[in-house]
Amino acid sequence: MPVISFDAVTKVYPLPAGDITALAGIDLAIEKGEFVLIMGPSGSGKSTLLNIMGSLDVPTSGEVTIAGKRISGMDDDELTLMRRDHIGFIFQQFNLIPLLSVVENVEYPLILKGRRNGSRERAHEVLRAVGITESHFTHKPGELSGGQQQRVAIARALVNDPDFLLCDEPTGNLDTKTGTAIMDLLARMNREEGKTVVMVTHDPRMTEYADRTIQMVDGRLA
Amino acid sequence: MTFLDLARRNVSRHWLRSALAVTGIVIGVVAIATMGILGNSIGLMFNDMVSDVGDTIVVSPAMSGTGGDKLTKRQVDDITRAAGANRVITIPFASTFDKMSVGEKRGGAMIYAMPAGDIPLLLEKEAGAYPRDTGTGCMIGSQLAEMSKETGLKLGARVTIDGETLRVVGVLKERGMGFDINPDYAIIVPYSWYSRHYDEDEYDQVVVKVRDINDLDAVKESIEQKMNRREDVVSVMDTKAILESVFAAADSITVFLLGIGAISLLVAGVSILNVMLMSVTERIKEIGVLRSIGTRRHEVMRMFIYEALILGVVGAVIGGALSFGAGYVITAVIVENPDYLFNPTSLLYIVFGMAFGIFTSAASGLYPAWKAAQLNPIQALRHE
């Protein structure tokens, strides 16, 4: 069974000047363990696709199944729990919580899930796995470099052992060398841990990491 | 790390802003608590007055009556019987204003006369002894004694009243304004001496002290029925009725003062609302991140309400402590009796002020918290 499946999915934003169709009938299945790139020009519907995959939004019509659950008809709390339990988000701007230390940022999703016992150890374990050294654990995110922050963000995304990682231009704010290191880390997680990775990017060099590249144009798969 | 912990960190992140919001709550709590204590102390002060003289009925000749402006011995006995001798103490007294002199010093004073045995029942003594019916002793009021330099009146002094000399054998305790007699500036003489000296055997008024304050109305009724059967011979006045109207006034003072305090707390609430709204607006992106990684609406809401509660609790605790100090100053300076502060009803106002402060803060945090929880995570994430 695919981790993510889209069946005739449309998304229409009603606007006073006329409806805007962001997704115009998408059929798509992403299998467990795949590394999938989503590419396309601005306005092609990439972000909308990503938002629906991330349970941040629901389709106007069609059926979306994530981790075996249909998301249409889910209320806000159910969608939120979907994100918490099944999806690991990685953003372009890292989006760590500035008030929390590195280890607390990673621990946070575990605490949301009510897992207090052993949460600190689990956070340490994941941080080490993404290449953050112990001496940085108690730092605030602002005290780390961009590459290190993105590693922490990846650790946060991995800590709840999600069904897939959803990455929105994860190297967009990093220099080429750091970006490559982050891509290597994601590729390793995909290869060695069997993590499903879905990534939106503009960067054609990323295709070499992916099993499959999906091109989007005008709300359709090209 | 918990939501409470996160809230605490957010509060201390903008410590100056938080401190200002807390200051508002502190002022509000202190205002409510001290105003409440002030009003309550005034009430307690009146209450003390009631317990001092609230058991008193004063019977005097009726203004329009035909029985003259004095009470006869027979009438006094009738009053005593009507009141029910076992339930009351009746103290008849006469009074006059007369010239007096002590050595070279001359002046005038109010003179009260009552049976020597009744004096201790009505008046407390500060020094010396109570006069006896047979002697020529008298007592002086506390204020007269205090002014002994001008009046020459002190324990042991000889005072000449209308040509006859009496010895001051006792000084009375200060009694303050009363509904019956005002002895602080007066000389108290035994009725036997008064009667002989002024050749009089009638009384001006009868003070009836009720042993059980619950009997007051019944005793009053009984005296009126007995004495005023055919015509108004006496007028009967009880102090409780007068003091009750004073009480009502004290209550409205308390309500008014509390209102002033509540307004200042309301202003503090608006300031918390403002701080919290700022906090939400600044953290839209952060809220978007929290929501996108799985924080539910009610959890976001909880975090912000905790923040408001932290401000409120800190403000209430500081305000409560300061209220205690301010309450002490107020009771010591305005009502001149700091004991009123330690009365449970006064302390309750501190608790009330604190509770109201916390409640106001939580209520002020509700809307910002709700607003934060309702943010669309996609739009919040895009917010810069």
Neighbours of B383 (CB within 10 A): 13
The Cα A82–Cα A78 span in angstroms is 6
CA-CA-CA-CA torsion sign (B207, B213, B219, B224): positive
Dihedral, CA atoms, B64, B67, B70, B73, nearest 10 degrees? -150
C-alpha Rg value of chain A to the nearest Å: 17
Q: Which amino acid is at B295?
A: T
The Cα A189–Cα B357 span in angstroms is 52
The Cα B360–Cα A96 span in angstroms is 33
φ, ψ of residue A212 in degrees (nearest 5): -155, 140
A15 assigned to some structural domain: no
Q: Which amino acid is at B48?
A: D
Q: Which residue of B has its CA nearest to A104?
A: B1
pLDDT at B64: 65
Rounded to the nearest angstrom, the minimum Cα separation between A190 and chain B is 20
CA A28, A33, A36: angle at the middle one, nearest 5? 45
pLDDT at B207: 87
Residues of chain A contacting B377 with CB distance shorter than 8 Å? 56
Q: Nearest Cα to A11, choosing from A184, A217, A219?
A: A219
Q: Does A46 touch chain B (CB under 8 A)?
A: no
Q: Collapsing DSSP states into helix, strand and coil, what is residue A137?
A: coil
Q: Nearest Cα to B195, choosing from B111, B101, B75, B79?
A: B111
Total domains in chain A come to 1
The Cα A115–Cα A124 span in angstroms is 15
pLDDT at B54: 66
- Please tell me which of the candidates A51, A54, A99 has its beta carbon nearest to residue B6: A99
Q: Does B14 touch chain A (CB under 8 A)?
A: no
In this prediction, the residues of chain A whose per-residue pLDDT falls under 50 are: none
The Cα B133–Cα A47 span in angstroms is 109
B104-141 burial, b at 16+ Cβ within 10 Å, e below that, comes to eeeeebbbbbbbbebbeebbebeebebbeeeebbbbbb
What is the distance in angstroms between the CA of the first residue and the CA of the last residue of chain A?
24
Quick one: tokens of A203?
């960067």
Q: Give the ipTM.
A: 0.93
pLDDT at A124: 94
Q: Does A77 touch chain B (CB under 8 A)?
A: yes
User: Up-side HSE of residue B50: CA atoms within 13 Å toward CB?
Assistant: 16
Element spanning A88, H or E = strand A87-90
Residue with tokens 């107020």: B330
* Domain span at A172: 34-57+74-221
Q: Does B2 touch chain A (CB under 8 A)?
A: yes
- Please tell me which of the candidates A56, A109, A157 has its beta carbon nearest to residue B377: A56
The Cα B198–Cα B302 span in angstroms is 85
Helices (H), chain A: 46-53, 76-86, 102-112, 119-129, 146-158, 176-192
Which among B12, B13, B292 is the top mutation candidate for probing chain A, defined by the most A β-carbons within 10 Å of its own β-carbon?
B292
Residues of chain B contacting A76 with CB distance shorter than 8 Å? 296-297
Q: Which residue of A has its CA nearest to B12?
A: A99
Distances (CA, A) of B298 to A112, A189, B375: 12, 33, 12
Q: Collapsing DSSP states into helix, strand and coil, what is residue B90?
A: strand
The conformation of residue B174, written as its DSSP 8-state character, comes to P
Q: Does A219 touch chain B (CB under 8 A)?
A: no
Contact (CB<8Å) B295/A99: no
Residues of chain A contacting B299 with CB distance shorter than 8 Å? 112
Q: Does B384 touch chain A (CB under 8 A)?
A: no
Residues of chain A contacting B1 with CB distance shorter than 8 Å? 100, 104, 107-108, 111
Q: Nearest Cα to B283, choosing from B66, B55, B14, B1?
A: B14
A157 assigned to some structural domain: yes
pLDDT at A75: 93
Q: Which residue of A has its CA nearest to B285?
A: A95
Residues of chain B contacting A96 with CB distance shorter than 8 Å? 289
- Across B261-303, where does the E strand assignment appear? none
Rounded to the nearest angstrom, the minimum Cα separation between B291 and chain A is 7
In this prediction, the residues of chain B whose per-residue pLDDT falls under 70 are: 1, 49-54, 64-68, 86, 177-178
DSSP for B321-362 reads HHHHHHHHHHHHHTSS-GGGGGSHHHHHHHHHHHHHHHHHHH
CA-CA-CA-CA torsion sign (B151, B153, B158, B164): positive
Rounded to the nearest angstrom, the minimum Cα separation between B29 and chain A is 31
- Summarised one tens digit per residue, pLDDT across range B44-67 is 887 776 666 667 888 888 876 555
Are B285 and B380 in contact by the 8 Å Cβ rule? The answer is yes
A198 assigned to some structural domain: yes
Q: Does B4 touch chain A (CB under 8 A)?
A: no
Q: Which residue of B has its CA nearest to A100?
A: B6
Q: Does B6 touch chain A (CB under 8 A)?
A: yes
Quick one: tokens of A10?
């449309």
Q: Does A7 touch chain B (CB under 8 A)?
A: no
pLDDT at B330: 86
Q: Which residue of B has its CA nearest to A90?
A: B293
Residues of chain B contacting A81 with CB distance shorter than 8 Å? 294, 296
CATH number of the domain enclosing A187 = 3.40.50.300
Q: Nearest Cα to B100, choosing from B197, B182, B205?
A: B197
Are A94 and A107 in contact by the 8 Å Cβ rule? The answer is no
The Cα B111–Cα A210 span in angstroms is 115
Q: Does B8 touch chain A (CB under 8 A)?
A: no
Distance of CA A56 to the CA centre of its chain: 11
Q: Nearest Cα to B293, choosing from A107, A169, A146?
A: A107
Contacts of A188 (CB under 8 A, 6+ apart): none
pLDDT at B244: 76
